[in-house]
A = this chain, B = another copy of it.
Amino acid sequence: MEGPIVKYSMVILATARWAYRPRGRPDPEACYPVRPERQRLSLASLLLLECRASWFGVNFMSLDARPRGFAARVNDIEPFRVVEVLERATQLSAAGVDVVHMAAGEPDFATAAPIIEAGRAALARGETQYSQAAGIPQLREALSQHYAERYGLEVPPARIMVTPGASGALLLIAALLMNPGDGMLMTDPGYPCNRHFMRLVEGQGQLVPVGAASRYQLSGALVDAHWQPNTIGAMVASPANPTGTALSRAELTALSAAVRARGGHLLVDEIYHGLCYDFDAPSVLEVDPDAFVINSFSKYFGMTGWRLGWLVAPEAAVAEMEKMAQNFFISMSTMAQHAALAGFEPQTLEILEERRAIFRQRRDFLLPAVQSLGFDVPCQPEGAFYIYADASRFTQDSQAFCLSLLEQHGVALTPGLDFGHARANEHLRFSYTTGMDRLEAAVERLSRVLS
């Protein structure tokens, strides 16, 4: 522990920062000024103000009129930069411009026909009412079976919860684990919503800059090096968005050991499982039965617009999260769950495996092509449908670069800023969620510009 004087100064500083923090974009309609008392507060009072305790149930402050404003978290939650690209790409396409769409984070295939048919049948049967907050029993059972068949793992249905997308799983896990001020280690670059879910519940994502040395993943050594006093766990994705790198069983074991040694929680996003092209990514559950797994029907099962995911957790955690799901979701889409059951049927799996082969073929074309254009891709993207490319040879402002490639050459890519801060301005993400002919067209256009 550092010296108490230093700490005390930090408290004063933090308190002052808090007292004068931005309160979100002001409401233009607001006409209720901060009361003058507020401005007369001494530092000592500020310290007391600081010590307001939400868990205590009362607040010591005497501010009985507040300006209408937004909560501080609103400033910390960032929009998706890619939306600007996507909207402009849609505009251009609508205006007749031939745009190659490589910015979206979803498969270009519509949901497989047997799943759609199962959804239509569920609607025809009138499956339109609420269902269980943890998911319909048949689907939890099917997921348990999935772990048995795909991973040789015994995961009872009681440890599995269906959620409204992987987003719902992230919300429940953040709500379960994060006290205010708690931190969760995560990679930069990584899926940006992860840290925003932590922020939502007044925790924080603690970004660890990662690069080729750790294949853009956390390792035991990185966990040790970046663990803070307030860190309560670490989160990884395998395969990862945006880099596509996956963790081996040995890497997961080392990571789990490092987090366990700190008494922390390990969260693994496995939403791109099934879309791995060099080996089948192992589940963290093979090496750590206490880890929290986040998964989804969006990617491999191609059900993005149905909003269905799942999580696996220790049984006691699921019981607590079920209570929260009752309160925060009531139910998932009932017909979507009945449709998802068809995802495990052999005829569907055949279609999904064909699509996996198509994604692999696209990666095998696009990766060397992107590299020969002059982008650096130091690690093999083993899964997902992304290539995260170092564009520093061409730009120090990838957002502007993306918009210019779109405007002038009709190629829509995602700027690195959507995935964090670590050299984000020098990176782009290519999604191979469009056909081979379109990928070829994009590479040809880019080769004319960049050579």
Q: Which A residues fall within an 8 A CB radius of B?
A: 1-2, 4, 7-8, 10-11, 13-15, 17-18, 21, 24-25, 27-30, 32, 37, 44-45, 47-48, 50-68, 70-74, 77-80, 83, 104, 106, 110-111, 116, 119-120, 123-124, 126-131, 164-165, 167, 171, 175-183, 192-193, 196-197, 200-204, 227-232, 260-265, 289-290, 302-307, 314, 316-317, 319-320, 322-324, 326-336
Contacts and interface: CB of A to CB of B under 8 A. Distances in A.
Contacts of A11: 48, 51, 53, 60
A180 B229 contact: no
Contacts of A230: 52, 58-59, 61, 63
Contacts of A330: 165, 167, 193, 307
Contacts of A104: 130
A116 B126 contact: yes
25 contacts: A1-B45, A24-B320, A25-B319, A27-B314, A28-B316, A32-B263, A52-B180, A64-B227, A64-B231, A65-B262, A66-B263, A68-B265, A70-B177, A70-B317, A70-B320, A71-B177, A77-B323, A77-B327, A110-B126, A120-B123, A128-B304, A129-B304, A131-B305, A193-B327, A200-B324
Given A74-B176, A175-B71, A328-B171, A59 B305 contact: no
B229 A63 contact: yes
Given A55-B18, A60-B7, A305-B129, A327 B110 contact: no
A359 to B, nearest CB: 16
A174 to B, nearest CB: 9
A319 B7 CA distance: 38
A310 to B, nearest CB: 16
Nearest to A260: B32
A307 B129 CA distance: 9
A127 B53 CA distance: 47
Nearest to A52: B181
Contacts of A328: 167, 171, 193, 196-197, 200
B229 A200 contact: no
A229 B181 contact: no
Contacts of A59: 181, 183, 228-230
A274 B384 CA distance: 46
A106 B120 contact: no
A73 B316 contact: no
A333 B320 contact: no
A74 B320 contact: yes
A307 B320 contact: no
Contacts of A44: 4
Nearest 9 A/B pairs, CB to CB: A59-B230, A32-B263, A305-B334, A111-B128, A14-B53, A110-B126, A54-B181, A1-B62, A14-B56
B123 A323 contact: no
A130 B107 CA distance: 10
A188 B34 CA distance: 30
Contacts of A60: 2, 7, 10-11, 229
A321 to B, nearest CB: 9
Contacts of A25: 316, 319-320
A167 B307 CA distance: 15
A1 B37 contact: yes
Given A58-B228, A71-B178, A165-B330, 14 more contacts: A25-B320, A54-B181, A59-B228, A65-B263, A66-B262, A68-B290, A71-B177, A78-B327, A106-B129, A110-B126, A116-B124, A120-B124, A196-B324, A306-B333
